[in-house]
Structure 1
Amino acid sequence: MERVVDADTYEVATAGGRARVRLLGVDAPEADQPFGPEATALVGALLRRQYVWVQVRGRDLYGRHLAAVRLRPAAFSPAGPVALDSVLVVRGWAWAYEPDRATARRLAEQQLAQRTGRGLWQCPQPIEPRLWRGLDTETKRRNRGGCPRLQASR
């Protein structure tokens, strides 16, 4: 792993140089969103100077490689590699997200994180990144620290 751009986007070293990878299975808070810096820091700590398994499954509209990322067994468990998307969801730093189909296992992990108030689930109604990206600058500024508070439209 070369660089963590944010909690679900990374730059990885390849035989041909460098590639930008978008993690499949989750949608993590944006860098300017509540809990975005914490989620990014967690991923940075997990991946610091580590080799990871990256299985590319396509490209997105921005040209990033869509991929599953697995942590080396020694990083977590002697049982085998651990899915990074699972770690993020269980710890409450990302939403379970599969554009084409719901992944039952990730949804169950998200429900556990919600019930136990982990990470972004400390907030009663965290704003999903896909909605956050569409907010105006003033609304984002008001909601940067802590739990978001969207005001009703007038």
Structure 2
Amino acid sequence: MKITQSQQRAFIRLFTASNWKQRLSALIIVALAIWSWTNQTPSAPGAITANSTVTGEVVSVADGDTITLLDQDKKQYKLRLAYIDAPEKAMPFGQAAKQQLSELVYRQEVTAHIDEVDRYGRGVARIEKDQRDINLAQLSAGYAWHYTQYARKSQSGADFAAYEAAQAAAQQQQKGLWADANPTPPWDWRKSNR
């Protein structure tokens, strides 16, 4: 949001003008400036919108459920994998979850179906590579929990059931974090480490 000199003068004139015509003129300029600022389309690289799709190369894996994607226009998108929650990097299995996700998508072309934008400005997305659900793959490998608290709100019934079954199978086979007798869910770990 850049303020031009004429907008600055209009703002000052709004409060200092001696007659109503000058004040009205200044008010119109200020109102138009405010309207244009609030109706601008985001032009920053990686501006994310809900219910959109982005395709590109994964250039970074931050942890077991967060990636950065670079599209063909060289715009970067920070994305969090929807419906799952992986261990934080400092948690047991956190580095292993990051490594597993890296093996699946790092330097690979993926498609991100963005469901929403979270409070940190990240796209919450379903990641697909070669028609494979990467979010589900993290669950199947035992490196994430099905984040049912959020999944119940927007995940389809069939997908919800598939994610639940993948987590149950990983638990039964003691894959990944399920090798631990009593793994701590990341939401509990975050709460206790605030």
- Is the shorter-chain TM-score for this pair beyond 0.5, marking a shared fold? yes
Indicate yes or no: 2:80 matched with 1:22: yes
Aligned match for 1:43, one of 85, 101, 104:
101
Indicate yes or no: 2:173 matched with 1:116: yes
State the Cα deviation string for residues 37-85 of structure 1 (Å, max 9, x = none): 001011112212210011111101111011100112xxxxxxxx11011
User: CA–CA distance in 1 between the matches of 2:79 and 2:162?
Assistant: 22
Judge conservation of contact 2:104–2:134 (CA < 8 Å) in 1. Answer: no
Any idea what SS the aligned residue of 2:191 has? coil
Indicate yes or no: 2:144 matched with 1:94: yes
Q: Which has the higher helix share?
A: 2
- Give the % identical residues: 31
Judge conservation of contact 2:83–2:151 (CA < 8 Å) in 1. Answer: no
The amino acid that maps onto 1:24 is: A
- Structure label with greater radius of gyration: 2
Structure 2 unmatched runs, 5+:
1-57
Compare relative contact order (CA 8 Å, sep 6+) and give the higher one, 1 or 2.
1
**How far apart are 1:16 and its partner, in Å?**
5.7
Q: How many residues align?
A: 129
State the Cα deviation string for residues 70-127 of structure 1 (Å, max 9, x = none): 112xxxxxxxx11011111111000011404171110111011111100000112110
User: CA–CA distance in 1 between the matches of 2:177 and 2:82?
Assistant: 19
TM-score (norm 1): 0.79
TM-score (norm 2): 0.63
The amino acid that maps onto 1:82 is: R
Any idea what SS the aligned residue of 1:29 has? coil
Structure 1 unmatched runs, 5+:
73-80, 138-154
User: CA–CA distance in 1 between the matches of 2:103 and 2:151?
Assistant: 30
Any idea what SS the aligned residue of 1:33 has? coil
Judge conservation of contact 2:81–2:127 (CA < 8 Å) in 1. Answer: yes
